[in-house]
Structure 1
Amino acid sequence: MVQDDARSIFADATRAARRKFEYWQKKGIPGPRPWPLVGVFVQTMKMGLGFYDLWAIQQFGKIFGYFDGSRPILAVSDPDMLRSILVKDFPQFINRRNLDINGPLLEQSVTVLHGQKWKDVRSALVPTFTSGRLKQMNGLINECCDNLVSNLGKKADADEEFECQSLFRTVTMDVIASTFFGTKIDSQNDPKNEFTKNAKEAFDFTNFNPVLIIFFLFPWAMPLAKKLGLQIISKEKLDFFVANTKEIIRMRSESNVVRNDFIQLMMRSMNAPDKNEKKPVETTTEVQNADDSQGSDIISHNLSVGSGQEKSLSHANYKLTLDEVVAQAVIFFLAGFETSATALTFLTYCLAVEQTIQDKLRQSIEEVMQDLEEPTFESIAQMHYLDACVNEALRMYPPVSRTERECNEDWEYKGLKIAKGTVISIPIYAIQRDEEFWPNPDVYDPERFSYENKQKIKPYTFNTFGQGPRNCIGMRFAYYEIKMVMVHILRNFRILPSAKTEIPLQLKDTGFMAPKNGAWVKLQRL
């Protein structure tokens, strides 16, 4: 009798699971066959997220359904549908999936906030990343780059090959510590300092995080995981940055010290006088920055800061709380140093392998620099071939291989009905390696992004920094930092392949793209 009951329960559970996994099939949407309990988790981890997406698109097309554990996910790489999701019907897709594993502090960061709260915080942060603010940071970034050139000179003189990502992490960490916190940590020469140590450990996603495994495979266990204090970045590491950020704010508030860094800019929002509460205006159409002389193509749209959508949000007079300032500072630091270092790593690798492109880039930089000793905001803006080289590296090797949106009400697109709560996965890496959009996608060719050719790029096929009102708020800072570092390197050194340089480069993708065995190069003084 007990055995019969057990068999009955097991049979019922099996039928329920089978019905759940028929979700996309019933909607007529193709997709990979899920495994019981885990969905496509095992295959995704084995192949890597971006590589799995590329394979799935080739097998099932540009719209397919799959399962994260038992949760149905719709993957969309169709550019026209992406336009509707990311811009045209943005209010229905304003949120990202709530992972609920960030901890109470990071739940207040602009990257994970939802709805009106996201609009309010984003509106308060937009003025922090204007052209004028970046100009104020120029001296701080140049100082970090000068330190880099000095250290690279020692490697060049010793004919020493080195791994790019570990080096660039120290550079971007110095830049962000200086420009965000007004703090000099000199991790290039002191890699064991506390800032460097805690940041590297906090953002170590070289392997899949066990908290993410619990979230994807056993969502019913998340309440217990939260009670146990489990979160994607350990509380111990976060507490270090929280304590330092609060101390900086306290000291400046008490001593009236003012610095040209991002903490100061956010403090101004925190201390802004009360005004009539004006809510941000939702933008549902694409609005091009009037100052953008590059035209209305997608690349110009991405590279223009303060797009029409952001300007519409920037009219609010929202005051940040202390915890919100701390949350933004911490997430900008932790996310910014790693992704920028990854972008620099892949760009350096591409230039080492493609010497002709490197020579052309160096010449184009010198034509702009002429008698300038160090790059300025204005000179960087004139380096159009540098734009192309950076964008092509970001196309081939986006630091983040996927992004997501969540449908917050029932929605229909060309007869396809999407239910409220459905998560939309946008496979950035796969789209940017799709030969339909990018002929010879595995070839590094900056000419794709020349002024003449970028007009031909299909909109919504270059998504490294996202699209629409919820694109990466730090995009312009990241571009500027990457370009500044590369100008300093190329004016002083030739980048060369070394004995350890892999051709082609092997990749590891846990959601964050990285060289599997490191990207190795060496330098020669000019």
Structure 2
Amino acid sequence: MWILVFFSVVFAYFFYKSCIKPLSYWKNLGIPHEKAVPIFGNFFDSILGRKHTSDILSDIHKKHKNDRYVGLIQFNKPMLMLNDIELIKQITIKDFDHFVDRMEFEDPDPFMRKNLLAMKGNIWKEMRATLSPIFTSAKIKHMSQLMMECAKNLQQNIPVGSNIQEVLIKDVFSKYSNDIIASVAFGIQCNSSTDAGINEFYGNAKKFATFSASQNLKAIFLITFPYFAKVFNISMFDKGIVNYFRNIICDTMAYREKENIVRPDLINLLMEAKKGQLINDSTKDKDAGFAAVNESDILDSEKLGKKEWTNEEITAQSLLFFFAGFETISIVSSFIAYELAINPNIQDTLQSEIDSVLEKTNGDVKYDDIVKMKYLDQVLAETLRKWSAAFQTDRICTREYTIKSIQPGEKEVTLKPGDIILIPISAIHYDPEYFPEPERFDPERFGDENKQTIVSGSYFPFGTGPRNCIGSRFALLEVKILFFFLLSNLSVVPTSKTQIPYKVNPRFFNFSPTDMRLGFKQRNVTNL
């Protein structure tokens, strides 16, 4: 009996400390906050599948529009959500040295502990500086031919006929993103769009990059109870699948070193980075696209020194690029296709620009021809505003920091190391103060005349500050090449089962259009 009482007391103590005490954190500090419930915090509706997390954050942003910051609880973690873009810029850029790290959760797998997202402090700075030269426009240009081959293969194998054939659009584009990753990152040739069945690489890729319901539950447990997750060795990912890709990467690097093989892909660049042989040829490339981000000067590798990276650390970065790229590209591409399908006038304008480029180049299209296309970039930029690649981001306070009060009745707040900052990207992208009629898809927002009026700091689909997305240029080029070749011969159209307007599934953490149905029809052109 006493054993039962003992464990009941221990459980009650941990439950109070982990799930009850955090609920009063912001109230005790006198900070504007939202009332939360135990375990789930302010995201109970999201867990129940009643409302998407991005909608919850947008509602809070609107409710506290006059508050520069508001206190939230995500599961059992107090977070300070920033509503004011000047404060966001101050914390993520000007005072970045106080907020170097991002939120993490315990995971026993080295992939989760040693990738760029999980790294902290100077180790992160050194790895970021090591990897940055991989994603310069000059390096990506060398990989563009491989991307074009994948896009042509997909376009030629999309089913079209006298009747419009309906498809689950994300499945179509996940095959493209899979082949890009296989070819450009792993050095493997596979054409997923023509395989009768699901090839092993694509099958494992989908399992690896697509969050299942069980993985969502694991994520909640890892965030809420990190100690127990560590004790019971609970990992987010299937070890067999992680080992499958880890073995491919390690075997490929070993074979290339032995045979002295050089190929214009990510594996080769990572091998050079590991040896410290990459040259940073970065320039402020105005043709990279409005949404592209630049590297911060604080990441100058000459200031950070050189560090020897292990094969495991380099492999972890390969897995991260694969995990991030597979889902992101297929999701963003799906939403571009959706917006073009329900806005045929915008699709016509984009196809006219594509036809013009094909005519000028006699069909021999190069990297420079695609990245200089203005309207294509506008369509992509507007899609990323409306359907952000990441609808939120975060920072961890690493040095005590005080946010001074500047408004009447506002109370200053002193953040301690470990405190979490939440930045609601999508909520700001939908704020009519910055983007009038935010529900309307309007690429002209990013035209030459209008983009100059966009408030600095109000648009950041790839994050903000030195910890922004390192692969933004790579991702933007993938999508541009895909739609250039896709729309040169095909048009995307809605079908009877296309949901208009589209509502994201609240049971998925990101904007995952798994049930989005669209169709394709042949254009009456002979460009290629």
Fold shared, TM-score > 0.5 on shorter chain? yes
Q: Which residue of 1 aligns with 2:102?
A: 96
* Alignment partners' CA distance in 1, 2:312 and 2:101: 21
Q: Is the 8 A contact 1:124 1:320 kept in 2?
A: no
SS in 2 for 1:508: coil
Q: Which residue of 2 aligns with 1:474?
A: 471
Cα gap change, 1:515 to 1:221, in 2 (>3 Å) = same
Q: 2:230 aligns with which of 223, 239, 244?
A: 223
Q: Which moved more, 1:512-521 or 1:107-116?
A: 512-521
SS in 1 for 2:457: coil
Find out whether 1:337 has 2:326 as its counterpart: yes
Q: Which residue of 1 aligns with 2:72?
A: 66
Q: Which moved more, 1:363-372 or 1:178-187?
A: 363-372
Cα gap change, 1:309 to 1:444, in 2 (>3 Å) = farther
Q: Which residue of 2 aligns with 1:43?
A: 45
SS in 1 for 2:70: strand
Q: Is the 8 A contact 1:101 1:211 kept in 2?
A: no
Cα gap change, 1:30 to 1:521, in 2 (>3 Å) = farther
**1:38: Cα distance to partner?**
3.2
Cα gap change, 1:310 to 1:452, in 2 (>3 Å) = farther
Find out whether 1:390 has 2:369 as its counterpart: no
Q: 2:153 aligns with which of 147, 152, 156?
A: 147
Residue 498 of structure 2 aligns to which amino acid in structure 1? T
Residue 196 of structure 1 aligns to which amino acid in structure 2? Y
Q: 1:495 aligns with which of 492, 496, 501?
A: 492
Q: Which residue of 2 aligns with 1:364?
A: 353
Q: Which residue of 2 aligns with 1:126?
A: 132
TM-score under structure 2 length normalisation: 0.88
* Alignment partners' CA distance in 2, 1:141 and 1:188: 14
Q: Which moved more, 1:511-520 or 1:64-73?
A: 511-520
Q: Which residue of 1 aligns with 2:421?
A: 424
Cα gap change, 1:374 to 1:413, in 2 (>3 Å) = farther
Q: Which residue of 2 aligns with 1:277?
A: none
Q: Which residue of 2 aligns with 1:285?
A: none
**1:400: Cα distance to partner?**
2.3
SS in 2 for 1:370: helix
Cα gap change, 1:15 to 1:422, in 2 (>3 Å) = closer
**1:399: Cα distance to partner?**
2.9
SS in 2 for 1:472: coil
TM-score under structure 1 length normalisation: 0.89
Cα gap change, 1:16 to 1:340, in 2 (>3 Å) = closer
Aligned length: 505
Q: Is the 8 A contact 2:18 2:224 kept in 1?
A: no
Q: Which residue of 1 aligns with 2:437?
A: 440
Residue 182 of structure 1 aligns to which amino acid in structure 2? G
* Alignment partners' CA distance in 2, 1:421 and 1:399: 26
Q: Is the 8 A contact 2:174 2:326 kept in 1?
A: yes
Q: Is the 8 A contact 1:375 1:487 kept in 2?
A: no
* Alignment partners' CA distance in 2, 1:164 and 1:387: 21
Cα gap change, 1:273 to 1:58, in 2 (>3 Å) = closer
SS in 1 for 2:232: helix
Cα gap change, 1:483 to 1:316, in 2 (>3 Å) = farther
Residue 213 of structure 1 aligns to which amino acid in structure 2? I
**1:52: Cα distance to partner?**
0.9
Q: Is the 8 A contact 2:293 2:468 kept in 1?
A: no
Q: Which residue of 1 aligns with 2:521?
A: 523
Q: 1:236 aligns with which of 235, 240, 246?
A: 240
SS in 1 for 2:155: helix
* Alignment partners' CA distance in 2, 1:218 and 1:442: 38
After superposition, residues 6-25 of structure 1 pair within 5 angstroms as 20-25=22-27
* Alignment partners' CA distance in 2, 1:166 and 1:309: 40
* Alignment partners' CA distance in 2, 1:314 and 1:338: 34
Residue 403 of structure 2 aligns to which amino acid in structure 1? Y
After superposition, residues 293-312 of structure 1 pair within 5 angstroms as 300=290, 302-303=291-292, 305-306=294-295, 308-311=297-300
Post-superposition CA distance 1:26-77 (Å, at most 9, x none) = 2222222111343224223231210110112222345211112322111113
* Alignment partners' CA distance in 2, 1:417 and 1:247: 49
Cα gap change, 1:322 to 1:44, in 2 (>3 Å) = same
SS in 1 for 2:357: helix
Two-structure CA RMSD over aligned residues (Å): 3.0
Residue 335 of structure 1 aligns to which amino acid in structure 2? A
Unaligned runs of 5+ in 2: 405-411
SS in 1 for 2:104: coil
Q: Is the 8 A contact 1:203 1:334 kept in 2?
A: yes
Q: Is the 8 A contact 2:183 2:265 kept in 1?
A: yes
Residue 178 of structure 2 aligns to which amino acid in structure 1? M
**1:176: Cα distance to partner?**
1.4
* Alignment partners' CA distance in 1, 2:394 and 2:283: 29
Find out whether 1:170 has 2:175 as its counterpart: yes
Q: Is the 8 A contact 1:162 1:520 kept in 2?
A: yes
Residue 181 of structure 2 aligns to which amino acid in structure 1? I
SS in 2 for 1:95: coil
